Every structure is written in structure tokens, then in C-alpha cells.
Structure 1
Amino acid sequence: MDKRVRALWLGAVGIVGAMLLWEAIARLGLVSEASLPPFTTVFGRLLGELGKAATWGATLTTLLQAAASVVICTVVAVPLGILIGRVPAADRYTRSTIDFLRAVPGVALVPLFLLFIGATNEMVVLLASFVAFWPLLIQVTEGARSVEEQTLDMARSFRLGARVRFFRVVLPATMPSVITGLRLAVTVALLVSIGAGLLSGAPGVGQLISVANVNGDGLGVFAFAVWSGVLGIAVLSALRRLDSRILAWHYARTRMERTA
């Protein structure tokens, strides 16, 4: 069986197993249905919510917020990460600042962003950009550091200019780390976009969860929480497919090196 097909099957078995366990716990009375409704009940509610335009509008808003955050992160983090990874002085001057800022929890910044910006799409995008920026920057920096000096020396021996060395050697060698960082950044941006809406009432799926919670609608909270998970799985699956296409050359070379 192909490895991808096997991974899909194992993933499907894991999801189905979790659903069955959830259903069994609720049906057997191990936890009260008020605290944990059966999965089938939650799924039925979710199907009902998916028939409403408001749910799809909030979903689109959250996806756009996450996408805008990732674009901002990419534009800033990729060139900055390559600079830090290739220039030792830049690494020395920025290391302590990066270590401090990346340790700041995004949740702690929600009141600050609310104070200056308000519960708006812009607030969510800026907050998600800040939180998702650091894993992408770290990955790009490590990828730029990993460029082999022997390869660069060989490029210099052929009298290739700095611009050609960057696009032919440094950037291709850094791309796998960039893609890995983007996958992390997308995941973080989506989580923060939903979480910021939940805590602040800003537009999006998080707002739907917050409204359901305020109204005492526990079933709605579970339904939208499951929908958030579905969105995360869908986005990550799309990223994996994009990853396999963009880095097809990298995976082919890795397989050749393993079989050599």
C-alpha cells in the first residue's frame, strides 16, 4: 500500500475512533450530556448551522484573516530570516530581542490590541500576524544557516555573482524550511484568528462560539468547535498537497540520497 494512502487510512481510523469514543462516553452516561453532548447530536447541529449564510460568512472572514496574516508574515519573515541566518552580525544583534518577543503569549496581547484597535478584522489580522511571525522567522533563519559553505565556495569558484548565488544556492536550500515555517504559521494564524474572535467578539468563527457561549448554547459551542477543527484539517491538507508540488525536487533528491 502506498505510504500516502496508508497515512490517509490511519488518519481516518483515528478520527472515526475518536468520534466513537466521544459518542460512547456521552451515551453511557460517564459524563452528563449537558457537559458533553453525543457526537451525533453535535454533528446534527453542525449540519444545521452549515445551512445558514451567517456560518459561511464567518468562516470566510476567519480564513481571510488567517490568509492576510500569513501574507504579512511571509513578506517580513522570509527576507529577515535569510538576513539573520546568513549575516552573523544580524544574528547577534537580534537574538535576544527575538527570544523575548516570541515568548510573549498571544492571548496576553488581546486586551492591548482591543484597547488601541478595537474588536475589528484589523485587530485579528495584526494579532495573528504577530504570533505567527515567530515560528516562520525561526524556521527561515535555521534554513538559511544550513546552507553548506562548500556549495557556496564552489559557486564562487565559478565566479557566480552574489545575486546568482542567492537565487541558485541560498534560496533553494532555504525553501524546505520556508515551507515548513509556512505550515506552522498558517496553523498558528488560524488558531489565533478563531481565538481572538472568541475572546474579543471580533468577526469570525470565534465570534459564533462566543455568542453561543453567552447564550448558554452549549451544543452550539461544541458544533462550532468541531467546525474549527474541520477547517484546520482542511487547511493543513491543502498545505501538504502544495508542499509536495513545490518541493517535489527536494523530495526526489532526498529519496535518491537515501537509496544511494
Structure 2
Amino acid sequence: MAKTLSSTERELLAGLLGFNPCSAAYQRLEGSSHNLLRFTLRGDLLVARWPKTARPGAIWWRELSVQQLAAQHGLAPHTLALQADNQSTLLRGADPLRLGLREVAKLLQQCHQLPKVSQKLDIAHAFRYWFESCQHLHRPWTAQANQQKAEHAALKFSEFETRLVQSHGDCVATNVLQLGNRVVLIDWEYHCLAPRWWDLAIYAESQQLNSDATHDLLQNYCQAQPSRETRSQLKAFRTIYAELAILWHCATMHAPNHYQTP
């Protein structure tokens, strides 16, 4: 628990709450591109969220609108307050939780039934963008190899051109929270239209699920024994995500690749 807050944290909370909070128990949570501060105020569990780096305003508002759509369907926490200058939000009742595979599968199943409001994920562009964002010494492979990976990923995604779903786009464990008696997703900045395998692959790969756990995830999601084709599809998308995650790590952490390059 954090006993004291930084001046930035106090300023953000004061802007969101409308007053300077004197609550005692704060907890800083690990996030990817966002800071998360959890605390209890007047009996309510609240989470303040703001990016670690500046985000373009339009992108942030689009992310927030999709989160609010998900909240209307019970799949995301409602926003209590906004501080647009710092692109921060205040969420009620969101509590980090390590969920079982059944709960995660059900959450993704419901997410994929949301109205299709996002743009289609350009996976080839994602490979090129993160590769170009890497410092030359930190790039895990050559430009030619990256182009081949981008083309392979685009070809795989094109197989599902007519079967895209509303995807969260960053379904890692830290973005899955407990909200009362249900589970929700936060951090919708990578929302997109994508094959249903994309979210499943992100969760499975980021959690390094073994074959048995992967089988359970698919069985709960499909509500049937996963076929060989189903397992093969998830494996292919896991490989694509693993490679993209390596690029993201090298670009955002400004460090060489610490993973084994596929």
C-alpha cells in the first residue's frame, strides 16, 4: 500500500473527485501504458487511471467511447469522472483479480458479441509500426524478416475477413478486473475488429498457457470440445501475437529483446 501520494497523483485525484482526498489506503497497480491507483473512499472501491505517456486526444476519446459501450453491456466499469487535460478516468468498484479460464472465456465470448463499432485491425501495419519504433540496435530481426512476418500475419487475418468480431485487443490478465459479482475489461486503447482468435491468442500467449489450459480455455469459449482445426487456429494466432509482443517490448521498453526470437 502506498502511504503517500506524489504531487501528480494528488493533482489528478483532486481533479477527478473535485476535492483533495485524505483517504489512507492507496495501492499502485502495474499497468502497461497506464498508471492505475486503487483506493477506498467512503466505502467505495475506486480506481484512477491515466497514461504513462501523452496520448492523442481523439484516440483517447474513441477508446473511452468503446469502453462506455462495453459498460452498457456489463463488460467494462462505468466511468465516474473524467479529467481530459490529463486523460485520466475514475472507475468505481474495479478490483484486480486472477480469474479462472471459465470466467475469462465467458468474458471474451460476451465481448465478441458487442456491436461492431471499431476499425479493422491492420495487423501488417502494426508489425511495421512497432518495428520502426524500435531503435536500430534493439530490433529483434531484420526489416526483410519483419516484412515477411507482416505479410504472413495479414494473410492469416484475411482468412476471417467476413467473420470479424468486436475485439478488446489487449486481453492480458492485468486488464481483467473484478466488479462486484462480475468480471470486466479495462484498457480498451487497442480495441479493433479482428478474428475471434485474436483476443484468445493474446490471453493464452501472455499467460503462457500450457496445452491443457489452452484446451480448457477453448472448450469454455466454444462450449464444445475443441477440434484440431480450432487448436491449430489458436496456435497460429498465438505465434503472430508473440512476435508482435516482442516488437512492442523492444519499442516501448527501449531495450533489446529478452524473449527467444521465434
Check whether TM > 0.5: no
Q: TM-score, normalised by structure 2?
A: 0.25
Q: TM-score, normalised by structure 1?
A: 0.25
Pair member with larger Rg: 1
- Answer 1 or 2: which has greater helix percent: 1
